[in-house]
């Protein structure tokens, strides 16, 4: 009879251990879900911030392109260095803006590369 009580106690302890492990697992899962929701919300907030940043950046690019086109009001041919100097913008950025204006059909590049490259308004 003592063996039956001992086996019964071991079964109860085993069941209690299984219940405890299931509880720990569910708590870990709950914490993981909360962490994922928090991360998702942070990314959504970051995305909103990025959208605003990208919009402001696009507006700035359009303003610079308008300034570049205004420079052609006084000169018929301008090179990259002259524009960079007049607008105080790095020449790498100016090249990118000039390429976009050229692709948009507003400017024409004269020359292939180097210091002899000029742009004229179409």
Average pLDDT over residues 5-25: 91
Does the domain made of 29-121 have the CATH classification 1.10.1380.10?
no
The per-residue pLDDT for range 36-79, each reduced to its tens digit, is: 787 777 767 766 777 777 888 888 899 989 999 998 888 888 88
Query: Where are the chain's structural domains?
Result: 29-121
Record the tokens describing residue 64, joined without a space.
Answer: 């610079």
**Quick one: what percent of the chain has pLDDT higher than 70?**
96
| Cα-based angle 67, 110, 114 (whole degrees, multiple of 5) | 90
SS3 state at 110: strand
In whole angstroms, how far apart are CA 64 and each of 19, 52, 90?
67, 18, 12
Output b/e per residue, 37-49; b: 16+ Cβ within 10 A.
eeeeeeeeeeeee
pLDDT at residue 1, as a whole number:
67
């Amino acid at each position: 009879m003592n063996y039956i009580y001992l086996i019964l106690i071991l079964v109860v302890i085993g069941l209690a251990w299984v219940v405890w492990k299931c509880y720990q697992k569910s708590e870990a899962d709950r914490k993981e879900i909360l962490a994922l929701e928090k991360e998702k919300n942070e990314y959504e907030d970051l995305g909103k911030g990025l959208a605003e940043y990208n919009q402001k950046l696009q507006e700035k690019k359009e303003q610079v392109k308008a300034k570049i086109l205004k420079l052609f009001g006084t000169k018929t041919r301008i090179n990259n260095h002259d524009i960079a100097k007049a607008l105080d913008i790095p020449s790498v950025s100016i090249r990118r803006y000039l390429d976009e204006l050229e692709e948009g059909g507003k400017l024409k590049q004269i020359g292939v590369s180097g210091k002899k490259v000029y742009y004229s308004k179409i």
